[in-house]
């Protein structure tokens, strides 16, 4: 996604189009409830154990920041992670 976003950004430079990539870390969603592979489900649970995951509102604030910048400001990338997420 990073390479695609950067390529697209370069392609539309000078046309008034801004390309932004918001990269969320671990977010508390119901998606993990739908993991059907036991190994993948266990890995997901282990990663989230003891971590205060982000909420949807945290990512929404990042998106709002990106889109509320003046037209001469381009926020190319925003990486948002919980403070206790290792990677």
* Within-domain flag for 64: yes
48-83 pLDDT, tens digit per residue, is 888 999 999 999 999 999 999 999 999 999 999 999
Q: H helices within the chain, ranges in order?
A: 2-12, 38-48, 56-67
The residue-averaged pLDDT of 13-23 equals 95
Q: How many domains does the chain have?
A: 1
Q: Is 22 part of any domain?
A: yes
Whether residue 12 is predicted with pLDDT greater than 90 in this model: the reply is: yes
pTM: 0.81
Q: For position 47, what pLDDT does the model report?
A: 85
pLDDT at 87: 77
Q: How confident is the model over 19-39, as a mean pLDDT?
A: 91
pLDDT, mean of residues 3-14:
95
Asked if residues 2 and 21 have their Cβ atoms less than 8 Å apart, the reply is yes
* Structural domain includes residue 59: yes
85 occurs within a structural domain: no
Q: Mention every residue, 6+ apart, whose C-beta is less than 8 A from residue 60.
A: none
Range of the domain at 41: 2-80
Residue 20, domain member (yes or no): yes
Find the CATH number of the domain harbouring 54: 3.40.50.720
* Total number of residues shown for the chain: 87
Q: Does the residue 34 lie in any domain?
A: yes
Report the distance separating Cα 63 and Cα 5, nearest Å.
Answer: 16
Give strand ranges (E) for the chain. Answer: 21-24, 77-80
């Amino acid at each position: 996604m990073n390479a695609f976003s950067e390529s697209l950004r370069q392609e539309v430079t000078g046309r008034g189009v801004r390309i932004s990539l918001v990269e969320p870390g671990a977010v508390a969603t119901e998606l993990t409830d739908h993991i059907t592979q036991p190994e993948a489900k266990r890995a997901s649970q282990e990663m989230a154990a003891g971590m205060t995951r982000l909420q949807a509102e945290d990512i929404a604030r990042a998106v709002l920041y990106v889109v509320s910048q003046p037209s001469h400001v381009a926020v190319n990338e925003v990486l948002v992670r919980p403070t206790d997420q290792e990677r």
